A and B are shown apart, each in its own frame.
Chain A
Amino acid sequence: DGGITQSPKYLFRKEGQNVTLSCEQNLNHDAMYWYRQDPGQGLRLIYYSQIVNDFQKGDIAEGYSVSREKKESFPLTVTSAQKNPTAFYLCASQKRAGGSTDTQYFGPGTRLTVL
């Protein structure tokens, strides 16, 4: 089955730690996205990538980093510089880069809690 997987489903982090959230897709999609969702809020874009080895900052990139070494993988690292990282993190992919007419498909999400 084709789809997007995210792991872990739940993640707990101590203050000062860096953690990495995994996102993998086997849809052969070019573009991938990371969003953050806070309770009762919409989705805010953290980073996106339209092609392997290239990525751009979204609206709230501070305190986060990404890599895109393989087409199917787009991991997100939440660094200690992110002051309020507790949130629901969603990864999405899109078939073609460079246009807003393609559907974005979402993974099941990772809920990150800072202890």
Chain B
Amino acid sequence: QQPVQSPQAVILREGEDAVINCSSSKALYSVHWYRQKHGEAPVFLMILLKGGEQKGHDKISASFNEKKQQSSLYLTASQLSYSGTYFCGTGGSSNTGKLIFGQGTTLQVKP
């Protein structure tokens, strides 16, 4: 089942913060976050594994709540370069590397 991302779209001014959520109806083993610019390939941001681990990358961080089957991506003091569509990909505990991707959240950062 496809994970659900919220919000679907968000518009920010430079320097503002945003949170993107990814929720699944199935038990999760891992959550992968990607950012995609229009017409380009998705670029990997970070992986989170079950256990509530929080990771950070510059001013972008994420958390993973295994019990709630949910992950959140936090963008702090957003920059123009943060604009794009953010996808979460969820992995189960099966012995494949398959991911199921959410429908995406479009983020637009304005000057």
A residues neighboring B (CB under 8 Å): 31, 33, 35, 40-45, 48, 50, 56, 58, 88, 90, 94, 96-109, 111
B residues neighboring A (CB under 8 Å): 2, 29-30, 32, 34, 39-44, 47, 49, 87, 89, 91-104
C-alpha spacing A44/B89, complex, angstroms: 11
User: From DSSP, what is the main secondary structure of chain B's interface residues?
Assistant: loop
> Of A56, A99, A102, A106, which one neighbours B41 at CB under 8 angstroms?
A106
Min CB–CB distance B24 → chain A (angstroms): 13
CB–CB A90/B41 < 8 A:
yes
Min CB–CB distance A78 → chain B (angstroms): 19
CB–CB A102/B101 < 8 A:
no
Min CB–CB distance B10 → chain A (angstroms): 15
C-alpha spacing A31/B92, complex, angstroms: 16
Residue numbers in A under 8 Å from B104 (CB-CB): 40-42
CB–CB B41/A42 < 8 A:
no
> Of A42, A97, A104, which one neighbours B32 at CB under 8 angstroms?
A104
